[in-house]
Structure 1
Amino acid sequence: MSLEKISSQLKHSGTEQKLPPVELWDPPYCGEMNLVIKKDGSWYHNGTVFKRQKLVKLFASVLKKERDDYFLVTPVEKIKITVEDVPFILSQWSWGQEGEYGDMHLATNLGDEFIFGENHPLHIADNGCLYVTVRRNLLAKVHRNVFYQWADLAKERITPQGTELILPCGGHELVLGRF
């Protein structure tokens, strides 16, 4: 399977306008592709970085995670790719119209935009890295600059388990860490 063939299928299926329902698709497995999403969020095919952001966004729209594996999925085929950590980087954030500690608007390196909350929770990995659910079961790693900005605004709270660093937002709390 070639990138050109997948790109053509996606363009003809109209997926450039909105996210396709990949969770409903269960096409046959067609093998692996030498496509890697690096830890920094950059995409590589056969060792060469993708230079066209539009193409990366197109492929990201059909990205699906099953257990620990990632696939590009169309209605007729499913191709395994490699993801070094997670497919997205949480690169931007801002307070909503309510101002500080109101709704927190988040954005990934590929332009996914959403509001932190129940559908987009924060996860703390065993190694201390922070991740946010973007869509379906796909995660974005919180970029270091975003974490430092949050840590600067966060408040300390003493609990029986120790001290937590929390950031209230939109009726929720981001627990940035415990020590």
Structure 2
Amino acid sequence: MSESGKANDLLAQIPKGEKKGLPPVHLWNPDFCGDIDMRIARDGTWYYLGTPIGRKPMVKLFSTIIRRDGDDYFLITPVEKVGIRVDDAPFVALTLQVEGEGERQVLRFMSNVDDEIVAGEEHPIRVMLDKDTAEPAPYLRVRGNLDALIHRNVFYQMVELAVPRDQDGECWLGVWSSGVFFPIGRLPA
């Protein structure tokens, strides 16, 4: 079967129904059918056969059936599981809405596929530092073990909101959301 035939076949297998919400991909365990030439770039652009997928509804549909097992990413339906490549994270947090302030502050993010994520216990923020450049790479948990890379402009907004806090004997700069403090950088002693 051709690569485009595989993608169309995969789309046809996504269960349709009247229920809202995401498909239960964590419950599906079909046979692995191989890799397809699909890639999600660091900026959130989805590519198929080297060409950007320009139809946002298609990208949004594919984004509902992505699953991560270990370090590998798959598009999965009840009867088929295909491997895809993800350069960094499968989603990008593009906007930030701030409600309240201090410990009662709520940070509401919107992803590149229109998922709304409120940072908190179930959706933590973490910042990784590049081992070579020490440049921060901030992430937000979207669902399961899938993250969104927080866009640089949104991260700058978070830095503007950051407050110092002593934690485990160290002073951190971080943000509050939904009653949880998320460190974004250690302050010098």
1:7 is aligned to 11
1:135 is aligned to 143
2:64 is aligned to 61
3-state SS in 2 of match to 1:56: helix
2:119 is aligned to 116
Distance 1:135 1:15, change over 3 A: farther
Q: What is the CA distance between 1:85 and its match in structure 2?
A: 0.5
Is 2:173 the counterpart of 1:165? yes
Q: In 1, distance between residues paired with 2:36 and 2:141?
A: 25
Q: 1:35 corresponds to which letter in structure 2?
A: M
1:3-26 per-position Cα deviation (integer Å, ceiling 9, x unaligned): 11111222x533994210000000
Distance 1:100 1:158, change over 3 A: closer
Q: In 2, distance between residues paired with 1:34 and 1:88?
A: 18
Q: Select between 130-139 and 150-159 the one with higher mean Cα deviation.
A: 150-159
How do 1:34-53 residues align onto structure 2 when only pairs under 5 Å count? 34-53=37-56
The answer to whether the Cα contact below 8 Å between 1:88 and 1:110 also exists between their aligned partners in 2 is: yes
155, 164, 177: which one pairs with 2:163? 155
Name the TM-score, length of structure 1 as normaliser.
Answer: 0.90
The percentage of aligned residue pairs carrying the same residue is 38
Q: How many residues align?
A: 176
1:75-122 per-position Cα deviation (integer Å, ceiling 9, x unaligned): 0010000001110011111123xx234222122111111211110011
3-state SS in 1 of match to 2:159: helix
Q: Which runs of 5+ in 1 are unaligned?
A: none
3-state SS in 1 of match to 2:54: coil
The answer to whether the Cα contact below 8 Å between 1:15 and 1:58 also exists between their aligned partners in 2 is: no
Q: Select between 157-166 and 18-27 the one with higher mean Cα deviation.
A: 157-166
Q: In 1, distance between residues paired with 2:24 and 2:168?
A: 44
How do 1:64-79 residues align onto structure 2 when only pairs under 5 Å count? 64-79=67-82
2:133 is aligned to none
1:146 is aligned to 154
Aligned CA-pair RMSD: 2.0
The answer to whether the Cα contact below 8 Å between 2:13 and 2:79 also exists between their aligned partners in 1 is: no
Q: What is the CA distance between 1:160 and its match in structure 2?
A: 7.2
Is 2:183 the counterpart of 1:175? yes
Q: In 1, distance between residues paired with 2:170 and 2:161?
A: 19
21, 28, 38: which one pairs with 2:24? 21
Greater than 6 Å deviation, 4+ residue runs: none
Q: What is the CA distance between 1:157 and its match in structure 2?
A: 3.6
